[in-house]
Amino acid sequence: MQPPRYATKRTVRRLVLATTVLATLVTGFTAPAQAESLAGPTAQQLKDKTAGCETQLSNGKYAHDSGGSRTVAVCKTGGAVHWTADFDVDCDGQRTTQCNENTDPSFQPATSWNQSNGQPLNSAGLPFIVVPLSSTIWNYSSAGIVGGTVAAVVYQDKVAYAVVGDQGPTGIIGEGSYKLAQQLGINPNPSSGGVSGAVVTYILFPGVKSVPIESQTDAVSKGQAAATSFVSGTQTCGATNLDFTSYPTVQAGSTGAAVKAAQCLAGGVSEPSGIFDAATTDAVKAFQTRVGLTSDGVVGTATWTALLAAGDKTTVSSGSTGTAVSRLQRSLTAALGRTVAIDGQFGPVTDTAARDYQRTRQLVVDGVVGPATWTALQSGH
C-alpha cells in the first residue's frame, strides 16, 4: 500500500473526531451489540498479560498518527508480539457498500496480502490488522509475522480475533479493518470512525496462521487456542510438538521435528518448516542475544533450556499440575540431559529433577520452582 494516503486518512480522522457527536447523529451510527461470548481468555486477562514489555522488539517507538509523539513500543511477552495504540479504520481492498471511493476518500482497491483466489481482502467482511512497513524501527517479518498471522485484538471488554492483512506507513501504528472495528464496537466509518488514545491492544501470535487467510473460522479457532496458551504461560506453537525425551543440538543444515520446535520457540520465521536455514540461524542468534547467551546460532543445551523455559515464572512444586509444570519438565529435560516425563504432573521424578537442577546451579535446594529457579532456566543455566 502507499504510505502517504495513510497519513492523510489519519489526519482527516483526527479532525473529524472533534465532531464525533455530530457525526454520530448524521450517520445514525450505533455501536453494535457485543458479540456473543467466545472461548478463550477475557479481555482483562489479555490486558493484564500485556501490561508490561518483557522484551522490546522495536528500535524506538511509533506514533499513533502522522506527526504525533512516538510513544508506542512493539513488545514481545512469552511467544506473543504486542502493542497498545489507537484504532484507525482501513477500508481498502474489495469494493463494497461500506468501502469504496465514495465512503473513503483515501480508498485503494488493494491490500498487501490477498485471498486464496487472488482477490484483495474484504475490509467490510474480514477482521484484519495493519502492520507498519518494515523499517529501521522494526521489521515485522523478523518476528515471524506474515500475512495471515493470527491476532487477538482487545478494546474495553471485547476480544476479537483477526489476521495480519495489510501494511501501513513506517512511522505510525494502530489500524484495523472495517469489520474488526465493528466487532470491537468501534465506529467503522473510514472517515469519521476509529478511536483515539492508547486504548486498543493488538496481540499477534507468530507461527500461528489462518489458512486460508480469509477463513474467519480458522482464525478464531487458532486465535482462541493461542490466546489461551499465552495467558497460561505456555509457548504459542500451534500444533508443533515440543515434547521430546531429549533435545539434540541443532544448527544450520539440521532438519526434522526438533528443528521445527526450535523455530517455533525462537520465532523469526514465518512458519516452522523443520529446515534450519539462514532465517532460523538469525532468529536463534537474536534470541540468544536477548537472554545473554553466546550468539552463535546453535541450539544446544543452554539455548534449548532457555527456549523451553520461556514464559511466566509461576511457582510450582510437588503436587502442582498444569502447563507450567509441563514447561518445567521440558526445560529440565534439556538442562539435565536426561528424560523427565512431560505429563504436567509434579510428582517424585520431577521433584528429584528440580532439586538436582537447583543443587548443580547453586540455588536453594527445596524442590520449589519459583522466580529464582525460573530465572536460571530462562537464562540457559
Q: What is the pLDDT of residues 156-204, one digit of tens each?
A: 999 999 999 999 999 999 999 999 999 999 999 999 999 999 999 999 9
CA angle 156, 314, 200 (to 5 degrees): 15
3-state secondary structure (DSSP) of residue 255 = strand
Q: State residue 273's pLDDT score.
A: 87
Whether the per-residue pLDDT at 295 is higher than 80: the answer is: yes
Residue pLDDT, tens place only, 14-37: 333 333 333 333 334 433 433 434
In CATH, which superfamily holds the domain spanning 257-378?
A: PGBD-like superfamily/PGBD (1.10.101.10)
Whether the per-residue pLDDT at 153 is higher than 60: the answer is: yes
Which amino acid does the sequence have at 233? Answer: G
Q: How confident is the model at residue 238 (pLDDT cuts 50, 70, 90)?
A: low
Whether the per-residue pLDDT at 4 is higher than 70: the answer is: no
Q: State residue 240's pLDDT score.
A: 76
CA atoms within 13 A on the CB side of 355: 11
Q: How confident is the model at residue 237 (pLDDT cuts 50, 70, 90)?
A: low
Class at the top of the CATH hierarchy for domain 3-232: mainly beta
Residue pLDDT, tens place only, 261-284: 999 888 766 678 899 999 899 889
Residues of the chain with CATH 2.40.40.10: 3-232
6 or 348, greater pLDDT: 348
- As a whole-number percent, the residues of the chain with pLDDT over 70 amount to 87
Q: State residue 30's pLDDT score.
A: 39
Helix (H) or strand (E) holding 205: strand 195-209
